[in-house]
Amino acid sequence: MRLRALPGLMLGIGIVVAATAANAQTKQLTIATGGTGGVYYPLAGGFGTIISKEIPGTTATAEVTGGSIDNMRLVGSGNADLAFTQVDTAVDAVNGRDKFTKKLPIRALAVLYNNLMQIVTLEGNGITKFEDMKGKRISTGAPGSGTEIFAIRLIEAAGMDKDKDMKRERLSAAESANALKDQKVEAFMFVAGAPTSAITDVAASPGIKMVMIDHGYLVDKIVAKYGPVYVPYTIAKGTYPNQEKDNQVAAVWNILAARDDFPEDMAYKLTKLMLEKREDLGKVHKEALNIKVENQKSANAGIPWHPGALKYFAEAGIKVD
């Protein structure tokens, strides 16, 4: 009886061992993103699905974070494998300036799309231009976000003090949108692709009329102080429900980033996927369609390229300089 039972027992042990070995071989990647009300999170989730499908033995998940500052710290410390980040924050991170007390070993894998500073208020709040925010209660983004850095630089460029000239709240996109609708803030600033869900929510809410504030004219001032990582951009009318005119804004590139010691072969595969599967990713959010070969320039990336990315560019004939 015991002898007859032994093959089944050995088969069971074999299955357990095989399953354990398979699990051990699975590579789990974490992608640091931002809040759920922005574009980073859904886009990274879609990219994770593509990674899991296209790279055998690899899975990837999007992690909610405070945003670009947190993402650079997470990748720099080895607590996340990949990050979506604004270029201005990445430049600060590799140079150890502003919010970063030391230089972080961050490298670019791909240039993504433009992150747009979007300043949102409601009709009747007394804000029709950037300078009207003086004396108002304004959300300038969550702590640890690229929004906060960008917002403060624009406020300074307009000749205002972020602490003395306004009552500043530090809320995520979703929190900001709710606070605006509940009249707990009079405007909020948020950096993301367009459209982004938190702003769409405000625009589509009944009984209120959303107003977007032009500020593209401040770009030259922040470029003069912080370098050419910012550009003017137009959010076309109709991007959001009931948006009746173009919105002139400041923008900064986004990149996909990793540590400098991230495996070169995996970096190569991820850069290839990001550029060659953009149409699939565009089904998650249309900003993915702006991830283009012609935008893969060192000037846009802002920080050094990862060797794996450069290997892919060389093989694909993409000139980055």
pLDDT at 15 over 70: no
Are domains 26-112+254-316 and 115-252 of this chain identical in fold?
yes
In this predicted structure, the answer to whether residue 172 has a pLDDT above a threshold of 50 is: yes
> So what CATH class is 115-252?
alpha beta
Is 60 exceeded by the pLDDT of residue 8? no
What are the domain boundaries of the chain? 26-112+254-316, 115-252
Where does the pLDDT of residue 26 fall: very low under 50, low under 70, confident under 90, or very high at 90 and above?
Answer: confident
Within 178-229, strands assigned E span 187-192, 210-212
| CATH dotted code for 26-112+254-316 | 3.40.190.10
Is 5's pLDDT higher than 60? no
Angle at 81 between CA 80 and CA 85, to 5 degrees: 80
Mean pLDDT of 112-136: 97
Residue 7: the pLDDT is: 44
Mean pLDDT across the stretch 287-307?
A: 96
The least confident of 24-28, 205-209, 224-228, 294-298 is 24-28
Q: How far apart are the first and last CA of the chain?
A: 74
* Confidence class for position 4, pLDDT limits 50, 70, 90: very low
In the prediction, which pLDDT does 1 show?
34
Is residue 22's pLDDT more than 90?
no
E strands in the chain: 27-32, 58-63, 82-86, 106-122, 137-139, 167-169, 187-192, 210-212, 230-235, 247-259
Query: Which pTM does this prediction carry?
Result: 0.83
Q: How many beta carbons lie within 10 A of that of residue 225, not counting itself? A: 9
